[in-house]
Amino acid sequence: HQGSETREFSAEVGRLLDLVVHSLYSEREIFLRELVANSADATDRRRFEALTDGAQALPENAKISINPDKDARLLTISDDGSGMSRDELVANLGTIARSGTRAFGQKLENAKPEDRPSLIGQFGVGFYAAFMVADKVDVVSRRAGTDEAWRWSSDGKGAYTLEPATRDKAGTDITLHIKSDADEFLDPWRLQAIIRKWSDHIAWPVTIMREGKEEAANEGTALWRKSRNDVTEEQLEEFYRHITHNFDKPWDTLHWRAEGTMEFSALLFVPSSRPFEFGEQMRESKVRLHVRRMFITDDAEILPPWLRFVQGVVDTEDLPLNVSREMLQATPVLSRIRKAVTTKVVNELKTRAKDADTYATFWENFGPVLKEGMWDDPTYKTDVAALSRFRSSAVEGLTSLDDYLSRIKPEQDAIYYVTGDNADVLAASPQIEGFKARGVEVLLLCDPVDSFWPERLGTYEGKSLRNVAQGLNDLEKFGAPEASPAEKADMDTLLPALKTVLGDAVSDIRSTDRLVSSAMVLSAPEGGPDLQLRKLMQRSGQ
């Protein structure tokens, strides 16, 4: 048994606490959302651990209770979750595991005030929000499956203490010593309103002590299980904000129920903006899997990685509640659900793609991710190709492959593309001069993934994808560059003028289709030695 001790926060935590407390003042109420979310996570975790490694089982009436005490100015949030060991208290509440404070600070500075609360969730710094409303926070926790409890305390100013404590069952109590200017958070009605606003859908019961009685605070409805007509737009948006930590409205909402050979409900969202650090943070789909309302895991990879921007819930009857990770890997139920959900999303995107303007917003955010599907998903690569949009040498804005094909020359059997870092640079690049001059359209590809997929995709609608570098020999097939009538007229005046000026110095001046943007080239008379040979001859004095 280790004894009491005082420890310093990691330097990062110190700076972060300052940032959170000072920049989010007007949004203080979200501290409750964060603490309740942590309790719900811990309860999910305990349920799951009990299934897989026999840790102490979750009590049947597991709940999250909120207990304000006006006289003592204390607000306590208690749960029956996994709890934390001494080491976990140090690791989870004394350091910052995931993201640096610097990135967080910069992001906060640039964010509009109404967007700031979501950053707390995105950066995994929710616990520290407690210090917005409390001068001191005590955490008493007992890890499920153990019999020792620990108290973590801090005033949020640089250090925290740890000491042995008692708790008669596993779980965690977070007690906030409410600041003198934060009375409102001791009022049960105010707390109730905050829960309704932010945490209504939490799957575990949330209760509030009011006049000595424990009252239910959340509805706990599994929104996705209701029929479409029974759910309001506001409820959907609130749920969206909860699971994505975004503050915008979804770009698209898919809500449906599959019946027949497979039974599941799904509620999925496509965000209307790209979540911060989206690319680096996640590589796999985090769509949540529920079985009969109960959260099971967000690791089931219900959607393929190239649809990982889609977020939401899939809830099925077709798996047992005590499904384990191993079983999830093996069950054909899950692969059928994956296929059905993926196809649904792809078809939805095809529908939405018909409106070019709104689709362009989506493409801007998630196009580079979607395109990965052409590289790593043989089943869907053609669908993804049809959904993809590109810059092109021939049109303003974005084009699809189908539109490209509608413009090709009769003798053209390939879709030409060039890769680089910047579409505007590519548009002016000598690499595609010859194509442009012959009226052959070239796609300008500049995402990193563009170096990979064209070869994998191979063909689209029977036309092969061909890099312009490999397509140079094709140029002949398209004949001479097309000169405009104005260009031809210019030539007709330019050539005689040049002849007059240069006189006997040249034997002839002609126009040529060998060049596209260079002005002129010297060439040897037909039948005589060529230019390179002439130079050599001159040098040797002949």
Q: Does 117 bind ligand ADP (CB under 6 A)?
A: no
Instruction: Answer yes or no: is 479 a known binding residue.
Output: no
Quote the CA–CA distance of 446 and 443 in Å, as a whole number: 10
How far lies 64's CA from each of 93, 125, 169, 282, 443, in Å? 20, 20, 14, 29, 56
Tell me whether residue 352 is exposed, middle or buried, using C-beta atoms within 10 angstroms of its C-beta: 0 to 12, 13 to 18, 19 or more.
middle
Residues 309-368 interacting with ligand ADP (rule: CB under 6 A):
none
Q: Say which residues have a Cβ less than 8 Å from residue 157's Cβ, sequence separation at least 6.
A: 17
Q: Binding partner of residue 80 among Mg ion, ligand ADP, none, CB under 5 to 8 Å per kind?
A: none
Q: Does 92 bind ligand ADP (CB under 6 A)?
A: yes
Half-sphere exposure of 96 (CA within 13 A, CB side): 21
Quote the CA–CA distance of 177 and 154 in Å, as a whole number: 10
Q: Binding partner of residue 39 among Mg ion, ligand ADP, none, CB under 5 to 8 Å per kind?
A: ligand ADP
Smallest gap from Cβ 81 to ligand ADP, in A, equals 5
Question: What's the distance, CA 78 to chain centroid?
Answer: 32
Contact region with ligand ADP (CB under 6 A), list: 124-132, 144-152, 198-206, 390-398: 124-132
Please select the residue that binds ligand ADP; options are 20, 30, 42, 231, rule is CB under 6 A.
42
CB 368 within 8 A of CB 447: yes
Contact region with ligand ADP (CB under 6 A), list: 23-31, 75-83, 160-168, 381-389: 75-83
Compare residues 126 and 271 and give the one whose CB is closer to Mg ion: 126
Residue with tokens 């959340």: 218
Show the tokens assigned to 121: 């969730």
Q: Which of 364, 372, 348 is CA-nearest to residue 268? A: 348
Compare residues 151 and 381 and give the one whose CB is closer to ligand ADP: 151
Smallest gap from Cβ 159 to Mg ion, in A, equals 22
Smallest gap from Cβ 243 to ligand ADP, in A, equals 13
Instruction: Answer yes or no: is 278 a known binding residue.
Output: no
3-state SS class at 449? helix
Quote the CA–CA distance of 437 and 299 in Å, as a whole number: 51
Q: Binding partner of residue 84 among Mg ion, ligand ADP, none, CB under 5 to 8 Å per kind?
A: ligand ADP
Instruction: Answer yes or no: is 295 a known binding residue.
Output: no
Instruction: Answer yes or no: is 172 a known binding residue.
Output: yes
CB 334 within 8 A of CB 328: yes
Smallest gap from Cβ 328 to Mg ion, in A, equals 24
Compare residues 127 and 417 and give the one whose CB is closer to Mg ion: 127
# residues near ligand ADP by CB under 6 A: 16
Which residues of the shown chain bind ligand ADP in the complex (CB under 6 A)? 34, 38-39, 42, 79, 81-84, 92-93, 124-127, 172
Annotated binding-site residue numbers for ATP:
34, 38, 79, 84, 92, 99-100, 122-127, 172, 325
